[in-house]
Chain A
Amino acid sequence: MNRKGFVFVETIIVISVVMTLLLMLYSSFISILNQERRNTTFDDVAYIYRTFYIEDFLVSLNLEKYINDHLETPNSAGKMPLLASFTCHDDSLYNLRDENGVLDTKEEEKRNYCEALIDGGRLEIENIYITRYDVSDLIDCMNTDNSVVCASNEELRNISPNAIGYFRTLNGKDDTYRLIIEYKTKIDNRDHFLYSSVKIARRNVDE
């Protein structure tokens, strides 16, 4: 009868295999848990309405020209931009300048309102992004670890991993554009980033 049992090396091998399996199980569960926690910050109903109103306001500006300049014109590397970061300071958003280049009062009011809302922190906006509605090209530029791979798309450099995580949940095909807003709010005195997006509606000139 063989009464040798395990030797130390055999035991170590068995333990290593068990530990590797347990670690693999742990890492897969922890990523599911983190994903689940993060998904609670995506497309909350209150933030969808907030985004809807912001979209409604942005469409009242000269957004078509803005999109043309920032999404339909090749970047310095000769690539079509996949994403534009919105800012109220872009003069092309406002119309109606007189012969001296001074903004019409109503347009000036719009600009002040835009700055108060978006830059002033009243709506807790951290970033506003405009992309094509179909974000598959954008997602192709991102790794599963939420890092950016398209070096020639310099506009993607400053996007946070959380935002990339949100982009990856978006789908749908359409030839319109999408407004994605990153909000920064405090929950239990800790900063949280929340995301919401809506389709940019085309507004008729008569409206």
Chain B
Amino acid sequence: MNNKGFTLVELMVSVSLISIVLVFMFSLLGDIKRESAYSNDNINDTLNRSTIIRIIQNDFIEKRLNRVETCREDGVIICYSFTFEDGLNKKLYVREKELEYDNEIWKLGDGKYSTEGEKYCYINNGDNYLLKIVIPVINHKEDNRIHDIELIKMGMTSFTASGSESC
């Protein structure tokens, strides 16, 4: 009868093999947990971001944007004034932790709005126009998601915008 059982080496080999796989498994589970936490934290911000973009873009399309100007206000880091075809004027105020458009305020849950990386691009090529405004959100989570607010208007509908034609 063989009564020897495991030797120390055999045990170490088997334990180390399983440990290697378990290390990968735990790192993977950590990634999944982190990804899930990012998703939960960002749900509200993502929803707000979608709503803000949709409301402003719909105004651009339905009310027909006529003029864009930058503006200045106390405590506001980014300010845009949009005038529409019917003469209606709506302002977009961006503060560090909130964004206000047409007297409605959206609070930013994670990160903060910043002027660093802000893009304002306007070109007028004959009858063809392009306006692009990017309001960056600084978020230190490496979650690959898009947090910035981007507004765009292009096409052959005439509108004017202040500032240079730089893109």
Contact = CB atoms under 8 A, between A and B. Distances in A.
Interface of A: 3-8, 11-12, 15, 18-19, 22-23, 25-26, 29-30, 33, 36-37, 40-41, 44-46, 49-50, 53-54, 56-57, 60, 105-106, 109-110, 112-113, 116-117, 122-123, 187-188, 192, 194
Q: Which 7 A-B pairs have the closest CB atoms?
A: A109-B126, A113-B128, A46-B150, A45-B50, A53-B154, A22-B21, A113-B125
Given A33-B35, A113-B125, A113-B126, A11 B14 contact: yes
B35 A117 contact: no
B61 to A, nearest CB: 9
Given A18-B18, A122-B132, A123-B132, 4 more contacts: A3-B1, A6-B6, A50-B150, A116-B125
A22 B154 contact: no
Given A106-B127, A113-B125, A46 B3 contact: no
Contacts of B126: 105-106, 109, 112-113
A46 B21 contact: no
Contact of B53 (A46, A57, A109, A117): A46
B76 interface: no
Contacts of A57: 128, 154-156
Interface stretch (B66-74, B85-93, B106-114, B139-147): B139-147
B32 to A, nearest CB: 6
